[in-house]
Amino acid sequence: MHGSLSENSTEVMNHASAGQPAINAAQQFVVVKAPVARVYEHWSRIEDLPRFITSLREVRRIDDTHFSYTWHPNGEDKQGIFQIVLQIPGRRIAWRTMSNGFMSGVVSFEPRSGPETEVTLKVRSIFDPPSLSRRVEEYLSNFKRLVETEGTAP
């Protein structure tokens, strides 16, 4: 379906050590009606992530690659630090948490025909697969709405 979210492609990864929660993975994509440069620019404003990642309350820059965050996953605020481990302008951003070590992800931007961009989000987390997949789908829907509604406004 053009412009809609992909089918659920959640998979369970068995990387759990004794006593450790399993690490699960989810991947979704969405087509945003905007050029790749604008779409990438919206996502790369890391401090603005809480505008579409609803569990995040606040993100603050520590340095060029490290950010502190407050999130509200299950009714209580938690804090942590994540690091941008790869940034290819206009193409890809990858990150991992430093404090809890239970989440990592990558977002990719692929130009489509016309002024459209395919955004693919892959996340690895301790959240159970159905919950993780729902969250990834929600974040992408929110992001699509944000970019398409705001147009070129910063």
- What pLDDT, in 10s, does the model give residues 64-89? 999 999 987 667 788 899 999 999 99
Look up the pTM and report it. 0.81
10 Å CB burial of residue 67 (0-12, 13-18, 19+) is: buried
**Cα torsion angle, 81, 86, 87, 90, sign:** negative
> 3.30.300.30, 3.30.530.20, 3.30.1490.190, 3.40.50.2000: which CATH number matches 23-45+82-150?
3.30.530.20
For 22, the token pair is 């399993």
Strand 11-13 relative to strand 117-125, pairing: unpaired
Band of residue 136 on the pLDDT scale cut at 50, 70, 90: very high
For 8, the token pair is 């659920």
C-alpha closest to that of 55 among 39, 22, 85, 78: 78
% of the chain beyond a pLDDT of 70: 80
Question: Can you say whether residue 88 is alpha, beta or left, with left for phi > 0 and alpha for psi between -120 and 50 degrees?
Answer: beta
C-alpha closest to that of 105 among 125, 78, 90: 125
The predicted structure's pLDDT at residue 9: 38
16 DSSP assignment: P
4-49 pLDDT, tens digit each: 333 333 333 334 444 556 778 999 999 999 999 999 999 999 999 9
19-35 exposure pattern, b = at least 16 Cβ within 10 A, e = fewer: eeeebbbbbbbbbbebb
Length of the chain in terms of residues written: 154
- Poorest-pLDDT segment among 45-54, 92-101, 119-128: 92-101
